[in-house]
Structure formats: C-alpha cells, structure tokens
Structure 1
Amino acid sequence: MSTKTANNLISVSIDLCRDYTQIAYCMGNMAEPDSVSTIAGEQKYLIPTEIGKLNNSDEWCIGDDALLREKNGEAILADDILKTILSEKSIVVSNNTYTGYEILKHFFEGLFKILKSNYHIVQPDYISVTVEYPDRILVNLIRNVLKDMGYDREHVKIIGHSESIICYMISQKKEIWVNDVLIFDFTKHQFLVRLLTTVRARVPQPIVVEEMDMTQKFKVSDLQTEQGRLEMDTKFLELLKKLCSKHIVSAVFLTGVGFYEKWMEDSIRFLCSKRRVFQGYNLFVKGAGYANLSQIGIGNADSYQFVCSGRTLVNIEVEVEKDDKNIPVILSKAGTNWYEAGARAEGILDDSKELRLKIVSSLSKSEKEIVIDLRGFPPRPNKTTRIEIVLAYRNDRQCIVVVKDLGFGDFFKSSEEMVKRVIDIEDYL
C-alpha cells in the first residue's frame, strides 16, 4: 500500500494538440505546475506533435528529434498523427501499417522519456491530458495507452481545453477574473475564441466557457505578407471592439503560435487599455496540472460548477416512490465529464406502462420531461415487472437511455425486451 501523502505526490499534465504538445509537472512542495523543457537548462517547451520510425530499426523518435532525423534521412514521419487518429484510419510509416493506439503509445513513451531524462520523473502518481475536445475515440485511446503503460484509470483525467481554462483561472488571483475573461487560441490549424463568465449569485458558482470558431476569418497563412498582417490587425481590432462592447472584460489571454508573428499593433494597444493581457503557450497544460491537484484534494474546484464543452449540462432524474413519498433520484448530474457520466438502476413498475425522466438545466433550472413508452413489455399483474435503466453519454450533447425488462424472480422470467431512447440534450435546454 502506498504511503504517499499530497505533499510528496508527483503529477504530470500533457497538452496534446495537432501542432504542438506540452508537458508540465507538479510536486507536493510546488505552488503551481511547472512547464517541462525538452532540453535541460533551456526554455524549450513546445514539442512538435510528430513521430517517426528510424530506418531499419524498431525505434521511434518524436518532436524536434523526429523532424531532424527525417531531414537527415534517418527516419520516416507519420503524417498529421492526431488528425489521422481521430479519423480512425490506419497510419502508414515505412510501408508498415499501424493503428492509432500503437502510434499514440509510441508518442507517449517518447514524452515520458523526456520526463525521465530531464527531470528524473519515472512514474508519476497522477496524469491529466488536455485536448481540444475530449472525443470518445481520443478518450478511449488515451485511457488504454496509459493503462498499458501502468497507470491506474482512477489516476488519469482527460479534459478539454475549455475545462483547462476554468481549472487555471480558479487557481489565479480573483482580480484577474473578477469580470469576464477572453481567451484567443491561434494555432496553425485554427482560431478559437473563448469567453469565460462567472454566475456570482449561485452556490456552487457556475463558471461558463462559451466557444466560437473563427478559423475561416483568421488564418496563420494570411500573415505571410505585410498586407496580410495589416488586414489581420484590423480584423482582430474589430472583433475585440465588438466583444468588449458586449462584455466587461478584466483579462485577455493570447495563446498559440499565431500570436508570435508580430502583426498586432492597433489591436494590442486596444487590448492593453484598462485590462490585463497575458501571452504564452502554457495556459492549457498548466490548467490540466491544476486539474491534477484537484484530484489530489488541493484547491477549491468543488466550490464551482463547470459549464463547458466536455461536461454535462443537465441533471437527469427519475421519480421513485419510497415510504409513500415521491422522491427524485439523479441518474446523471450536471457538470460531470461526459465520459464519466451515466448510471445503472433497477426498479419495479407500479401501475405504469411508461418511464418518466426529468431533464433539469444546470443554469436556468428549467425542467422538461421525457416519457419512454414501455407498452411493448409483457402484460403482468401490478408490481411484478422489474426494470433496469441504463444511461450513458455518447458525448456532452447526447446520451442514450436503455430500459430492459428483468422479469420478476421465479414468477416471471425476463422477456429480454428493451427500449432504447437517444436524447439530444440541446432539445431540452
């Protein structure tokens, strides 16, 4: 049995993106997560999300090492690995075909080699991985890879970038997020705008992150010419004025390689007027590091309700009778990571041929009802039909409810009849 306490636990966070990956770590005596440099003693934090296989060898290389070896003719690179993994296609390297699982496992092994060689971290106690969106394919792959690398599922957390932002923000001084916060993410592949707002009048306080994809309007390729940079500055200024006219913004965060191309002039002057502006790469990876600390029991995440992509938006309840009273039983709670949400419950039908579920919005508290028709179940005397209710999410916007006839002991065998209902959550908000 482990004798470790929160003061000597080691946690590692990984920001896995299509263009670059980053790592951070935290030990019990550290006030905040610290970014990992790929070169000891230097500030080289960005790891290209690239992987290559050495020629005539079973060895793999990642990041800048992979790019250099490919340039020198020593290795063959896999193409756009994260995009290919999400498409569930096989990946061809050196005329050999690999699954997404195999490629991701080799890539993660390369990341942990950096931790071991530069920071002497061999087996961290907690791991969090943050991605743009915790898609089911990616969540399952990451879980399986880390499990096969020897990490307990209970000590692995996978979150989206929006959740990383919340974890980061609630760990900072309140003056930074006393009002709304704007976060701009400008990478080689996308331009995303996120707005963080806090609902102060509720307990626990909901923290909401809204997302806007503006990739079609802002592209890194447009920065290659002087005219393109001037136009980008003008477009960004227009966007900032529009957003700041609708919201009181206390802080702005600029992240991604697109903000290091030296094109902001009028826009940055506007930004820095009466609000704090932060620029850097490590917002998401540090946020994931704070999520690790929350798992250990450090921090104040329990004081807030996370309302963002990757988290469920509603309570799903069923009403049951107990001691002559009707009481609601929550099958799925709002604010849960969708891949951890769900329930399995049993009950007995009492003079009913239907199951009624209540959907309660986490923000508006509005209630709507779903009726699942069970008339296809065999007719039996009252209170002699036992049912099983299984609820599981496909993603944060859709769940499935399955109701199965279990029969009633030796009196009535199960008919194996079941009813399946797909619930689109946005229809009930």
Structure 2
Amino acid sequence: MTKRCVVGYDLNEKNCQISYYNENMEEPETMEVASDNYQIPLILGYYKDHWVYGQEAKQLMEFGEGNMITDLFQKAVKRKKVQVGDKIHDGVWLLSKFISLTLKHFEEIDCITFSVPYTNVDMSKMLKGIGRHIGVPGERVYVQDYKESFCQYMFYQPKELWQYESALFYCDAQEIRAYMLRRLNTTGGRRSDMFVTVEEVANAHMKELEAIYPVLNEDKAKDADESFKSFIQNVFDKKVVSSVYLTGEGFENNWYPNSLRVLCNGRRAFIGNNLYSKGACYSSMRYAQKYDEGPIYLDGTKLTEQISLRMRIAGQEGWYPIVSWGTHWYEADGQWEVLLEDTSDIEIHIETLTGEELRVESIPLEGLPQRNDYSLRLQIEVMFMDEQTCMLRFKDMGFGEFYPASDFMIEKELHLGGINGQFNSLS
C-alpha cells in the first residue's frame, strides 16, 4: 500500500500507465505491472460478481469467461451504455471503475493529473468528475494532453537537454509523428517569464512499418530504416536540437540502426514509454507544491491574456493574477475573498502576450456601504462564458457579526481576444 502521494495517469484508447511521487522519493517512479512492463491494458472484466482489470481481464477474455468490456476510453467519451450481466452501465462509470481499480494500491492521493492524447472542455469535465468519484477533490484533479506532458517532463530534465529545441518521435504500427519543444517569441509578459510550446511538425504513414511490427522482417526493416532516416533529416533541417525522445510501441524492435546514428549525431537520445505519465506526475508535483516558477506552457487552446488585481498578500503589495495566461478558459473560473481599503473603484489590468499595450479597466463601487478600512469584505468571482468572454462579479460579504452583508453586487464583462489567433502570432 502506497501512502500519501501525487499521481500522473497516462490514459489512451489501448492502455493506461501510472507514475507516482511522495516526499521520500528523489523523482517519480512508474508502477510496474510485470517485469519491465508498465502498460495496463484498458480492459474490464466481470466474473462471478467480481470486477477485474488489465491482464487479469484479458485472461478471462481469452478463456471466454465472464463479461469483458473493451474500448473503455471511447465508450466513456461517447457516453455509451453497456450491458454487463443483468445491469446496464454508463461508459463513464465503467472507465471510473477501471481507474479506481488501478489506483487501489494508493492509500491517499493528494493530486492527480490525467495525461490524454487530446483535451477539451468535455474531456476535462469527465476526468475531473472521475477524479472526484475516486476521492480526489475536484480542485486537485488536472487534465493535460500528451504535448503538455512532454513539456512538463522536459522542465525537470537537465537544462542542457532543452537548451535549444527538443524533439519527440512517436511510432506505432502505421505512422511516425514528430514534435518539437521550442520557446515562443512573446512581446508581453514579465521579462523573467519563459513561454514554451510543443508542436507537431511532421508525420508520415510508412507501409514498411506494417511488415516489421511486431515480427521483424530484415529486408522491410532496412527500407523502413532508410525512410525514417530521411524523415529525421527533413525534421531536423536548419534546426538546432539538443535532445531526442523516442516513444511508442513501434520503436520496441531495433529496426532503425542507421536512423539512430542520425538521431545521436551531436545530441542525446532516449527511448521509453513512460514519458507521458511521468510528465503528468511532474505536473501534479508542481500543483501540489503550488510551484509557479519555471517555464509556462502555451498552445492554441490556452489563454494568452492575464487579468490582475492590485493586492497585498503576505505583506507584499503588487499586481496579482486572478486569471493567468497558460490556463484553459474552461478551467479559469475561481473565487476569492478580499478586504478592501477605502476606495471608490477597483482597477483591473489585462496583459496580453501578443503586444506590449496594457489594457486598464475600472469598476466603480457605487452603492457599496461605507465602513472602516479592512472591514469591507468582498467576494470576487471569475466565470468564463466562452474563450472570449470573462465575467467578474463583486459581492459584499459583510464582516462577521459587526457588519451584515448588504445586497451590493456588481458585474463586469470583459471581452478578450480569443485563443487561436493570438497564439498563432507568437510562433
């Protein structure tokens, strides 16, 4: 039984993988399900009123016993209904059951980050709901895609490995995809901030891969090696690459010796299949420790604007963000309480990474009761209607038994520049 820890959970259509960390460990470890095997097949089994998962469920399926449920990821995403025995279960419930069984060895999870091939508002809501169902508070459940997991993984590697660009190659039985981690050119933001992104820069469907995977065919392997070598050379053309990472089941057979020599020419190369779960675990470490230093990951789905209020926190006065750039708009809602000094309005600063111009908005507090300094307690609530519309709500909460709450409430709608168009201008 593993006690209090943070978890990174790689989840895709075929398998899941779990990395974890606690304060007694030097770095995250990946949970082994067998000797040198970290992948858990995404299969549920139901036999004699008992649920099983992974390899055990796979064995039942091979023996033709009990009820087997496959394609759990897609069934959950599409909200399909599945009959198991004499009961009908929702696809999200089945995926939640699978996840809870895989995490049964963890006594208490402080924070969990799910790493998935893609993310959107529906995926985020589904996985946050599953996180709450297995006992992790909703505010401690995070969702990120594979590209961000690669980025978070790199943040914890030696700086020389991502001093310039860093490459990730993924290979399965049919195709190879190439990704690059690179720094963004921003005009806004603090000078100390570093903004980075991961982009898919190339992909190729290689017929030769079908012949060499999973059984190696020597002649086809040579052809595939030459094709992959040309693919690498095109990807690396006019780029300075510090390190290369190979992941995916297609790289398990050593069919690419000539390509490997190109990959390792003047750079470090690594191979493994636990990069995404470890990257998610590193994210969980940052969230649990409230660690805000280091690079900020951006992509076409994240906000490139930041909304700040002037506040004094722990004796330090400054402009503090209530909405931070690098956040998904559907995860940017929040609520705070502040003590107000004698003021007639609240000033808001909106910074954008696509320009140096600072936008200032003023919210008048007409109708707010007159009280002594620091006895005006306001609730500030941030609600995003969509990626371009943010609603701010200010509400009088009173001050204990001394001052009851009034009916004062004022709202301010902010129109932002959206996401994709702004992000594209940073490239």
Q: Normalized against structure 1, the TM-score is what?
A: 0.73
Q: Which moved further from structure 2: 57-66 or 267-276?
A: 57-66
Preserved contact between residue 196 and residue 208 of structure 1 (Cα < 8 Å): yes
Alignment counterpart, residue 85 of structure 1, candidates 69, 76, 88 = 76
Which runs of structure 2 are paired with 1:177-216 in the superposition (5 Å)? 177-187=162-172, 191-198=176-183, 203-212=191-200
Q: Quote the offset at 1:305 in angstroms.
A: 1.8
Which runs of structure 2 are paired with 1:103-122 in the superposition (5 Å)? 103-113=94-104, 116=105, 121-122=106-107
Distance 1:393 1:279 in 2: 42
Q: Quote the offset at 1:427 in angstroms.
A: 3.1
**1:170 maps to what in 2?**
155
Q: Deviations over 1:228-285 (max 9, x none)?
A: 5444433322232122223200100001111113331322111111110000011111
Preserved contact between residue 36 and residue 45 of structure 1 (Cα < 8 Å): yes
Three-state SS of the structure 2 residue aligned to 1:209 is strand
Distance 1:190 1:94 in 2: 38
**1:365 maps to what in 2?**
355
Preserved contact between residue 193 and residue 213 of structure 1 (Cα < 8 Å): yes
Matched letter for residue 259 of structure 1 = F
**2:325 maps to what in 1?**
334
Distance 2:202 2:50 in 1: 40
Preserved contact between residue 10 and residue 124 of structure 1 (Cα < 8 Å): yes
Alignment counterpart, residue 100 of structure 1, candidates 86, 91, 95 = 91
Preserved contact between residue 382 and residue 391 of structure 2 (Cα < 8 Å): yes
Q: Quick check: 1:247 aligned with 2:218?
A: no
Q: Quote the offset at 1:61 in angstroms.
A: 1.9
Which runs of structure 2 are paired with 1:410-421 in the superposition (5 Å)? none
Distance 1:317 1:17 in 2: 37
Preserved contact between residue 13 and residue 128 of structure 1 (Cα < 8 Å): yes
Q: Quote the offset at 1:142 in angstroms.
A: 2.0
Matched letter for residue 81 of structure 2 = S
Preserved contact between residue 211 and residue 220 of structure 2 (Cα < 8 Å): yes
Alignment counterpart, residue 117 of structure 2, candidates 126, 132, 137 = 132
**1:427 maps to what in 2?**
421
Distance 2:258 2:282 in 1: 34
Unaligned runs of 5+ in 1: 1-7, 320-326, 351-355, 372-382, 407-412
Q: Normalized against structure 2, the TM-score is what?
A: 0.73
The structure-2 alpha-carbon separation of the partners of 1:207 and 1:239, relative to structure 1 and needing over 3 Å to count, comes to farther
Three-state SS of the structure 1 residue aligned to 2:225 is helix
Distance 2:413 2:33 in 1: 53
The structure-2 alpha-carbon separation of the partners of 1:368 and 1:424, relative to structure 1 and needing over 3 Å to count, comes to farther
**2:25 maps to what in 1?**
30
Which runs of structure 2 are paired with 1:242-321 in the superposition (5 Å)? 242-297=234-289, 302-308=293-299, 311-315=302-306
Which runs of structure 2 are paired with 1:35-50 in the superposition (5 Å)? 35-39=30-34, 42-50=35-43
Distance 1:301 1:336 in 2: 13
User: What is the RMSD computed on CA atoms of the aligned residues?
Assistant: 4.5
The structure-2 alpha-carbon separation of the partners of 1:420 and 1:25, relative to structure 1 and needing over 3 Å to count, comes to closer
Q: Deviations over 1:52-111 (max 9, x none)?
A: 332xx3322221211111010113332322123223333454575422321111111220
Matched letter for residue 25 of structure 1 = Y
Matched letter for residue 208 of structure 1 = V
Unaligned runs of 5+ in 2: 311-317, 337-343, 368-379, 396-406
How many equivalent residue pairs?
384
Q: Quote the offset at 1:25 in angstroms.
A: 1.8
Distance 2:67 2:391 in 1: 47
**1:62 maps to what in 2?**
53
The structure-2 alpha-carbon separation of the partners of 1:13 and 1:239, relative to structure 1 and needing over 3 Å to count, comes to same
Three-state SS of the structure 1 residue aligned to 2:136 is coil
**1:14 maps to what in 2?**
9
